[in-house]
């Protein structure tokens, strides 16, 4: 820094000397000091400006975190209330307060995470099969569903190996239940393929959906997961195998 300033200062002195103005040693030192002061002020202004910008970004990040936490809590409350209302609608003639077992079941299910937003540990999709996320879809009977995981194939084969795909999730024993729906998407309406979803906990079969095909009603599944470290969700196309059909998991949520 100092070497640069002396070099620049000597250039200034040369310019002054060439102009015919007499410059003594004191003038040279004054020029150098003024130049250093000017440079110092420039960098100080930049540092102050960057510090203010950093403070602003820290404050904005804190506000965004608070907003995210608020939205997350509201979402959890909405999911819990939806589950309660769903059970009440299933038997509208019964007062929920009269059924202690149902109330205990509802109270024990606390929403934790959405399967849609969880990272996979591994995915197996051979020969054109796919396991992908979609924000929504319409099923084969016209119902709309949100937070969709689409499991399907773009191959035609009688070989069961290429009609099977799966995804694995590391859940580390932190959930007691997975609930959601299995549906046949509208995009499969021209195919009579039959699909089944299997749920495995630590490589042991826990439960499965009914065989589903075009026109099937949504299948509501509930998978107990207490103590399970690794969850595998496996989709198998069991019949027809047209090569252009799928099944979907929708609104699937983990509960503690």
pLDDT at position 111 over 90:
no
Instruction: Name the domain boundary from 82, 108, 134.
Output: 108
Using DSSP's 3-state secondary structure scheme, residue 214 falls into coil
Structure tokens that stand for 105 in this block: 């079941």
Identify the pLDDT of residue 41: 84
Question: Residue 136's Cα: distance from chain center in Å?
Answer: 15
Highest mean pLDDT among 20-29, 38-47, 65-74: 38-47
Confidence band, pLDDT 50/70/90 cuts, at residue 48: confident
Nearest to 222 by CA among 108, 65, 77: 108
Verify that 140 and 245 share a domain, yes or no: yes
Which tokens hold the place of 51? Answer: 């510090």
- Angle of CA points 165, 198, 157, to nearest 5°: 40
* Residue 11 CA, distance from chain mean position: 60
Judge contact between 152 and 249, C-beta under 8 A: no
For residues 130 and 250, membership in a common domain is answered with yes
Give the residue numbers spanning the domain of 176.
Answer: 111-255
Per-residue tokens: 156: 């035609």
Are the C-beta atoms of residues 134 and 146 closer than 8 Å to each other? no
pTM: 0.60
**In degrees, to the nearest 5, what angle opens at C-alpha 134 toward C-alphas 129 and 137?**
100
Return the percentage of the chain with pLDDT > 90, whole number: 43
Contacts of 70 (CB under 8 A, 6+ apart): none
Within this chain, do residues 80 and 162 fall inside the same structural domain, yes or no? no
- Picking from 108, 123, 150, the residue at the C-terminal end of a domain is 108
Instruction: Show which of 43, 75, 108 is a domain's final residue.
Output: 108
* Phi, psi values for residue 20, rounded to 5°: 95, 0
Antiparallel, parallel or unpaired: β 177-183 and 219-224: antiparallel
Summarize pLDDT for 140-161 with one digit per residue, the tens: 999 999 999 999 988 777 776 7
Tally of domains within the chain: 2
| pLDDT above 60: residue 100 | no
pLDDT over threshold 60, residue 3? no
Please say if the pLDDT value at position 46 is more than 60. Answer: yes
Q: Exposure string (b/e) for 154-167, b if CB count within 10 Å is 16 or more?
A: ebeeeeeebbbbbb
> 100 and 157, same structural domain?
no
Q: Are residues 116 and 215 in the same domain?
A: yes
Query: Beta strands 204-208 and 194-201: pairing type?
Result: antiparallel
Length of the chain, in residues: 256
Whether residues 227 and 120 share a domain: the answer is yes
């Amino acid at each position: 820094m100092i070497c640069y300033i002396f070099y620049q200062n000597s250039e200034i002195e040369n310019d002054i000397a060439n102009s015919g103005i007499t410059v003594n040693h004191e003038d040279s030192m004054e020029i150098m000091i003024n130049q250093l002061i000017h440079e110092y002020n420039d960098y100080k202004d930049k540092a102050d400006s960057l510090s203010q910008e950093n403070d602003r970004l820290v404050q904005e990040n804190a506000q965004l975190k608070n907003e995210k936490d608020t939205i997350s809590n509201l979402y959890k409350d909405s999911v819990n209330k939806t589950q309660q209302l769903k059970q009440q609608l299933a038997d509208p003639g019964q007062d929920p307060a009269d059924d202690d077992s149902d109330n205990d079941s509802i109270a024990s299910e606390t929403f934790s995470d959405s399967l849609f937003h969880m990272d996979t540990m591994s995915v197996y999709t051979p020969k054109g099969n796919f396991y992908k996320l979609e924000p929504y879809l319409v099923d084969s009977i016209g119902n709309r569903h949100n937070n969709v995981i689409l499991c399907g194939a773009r191959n035609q084969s009688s070989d069961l190996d290429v009609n099977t795909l799966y995804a694995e999730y590391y859940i580390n024993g932190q959930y007691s239940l997975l609930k959601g729906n299995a549906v046949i998407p509208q995009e499969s309406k021209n195919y009579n393929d039959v699909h089944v979803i299997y749920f495995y906990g630590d490589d042991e079969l826990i439960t499965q959906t009914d065989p589903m095909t075009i026109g099937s009603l949504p299948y509501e599944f509930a998978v107990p997961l207490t103590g399970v470290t690794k969850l595998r969700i496996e989709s198998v196309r069991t019949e027809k195998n047209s090569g252009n059909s799928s099944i979907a998991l929708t609104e699937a949520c983990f509960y503690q």
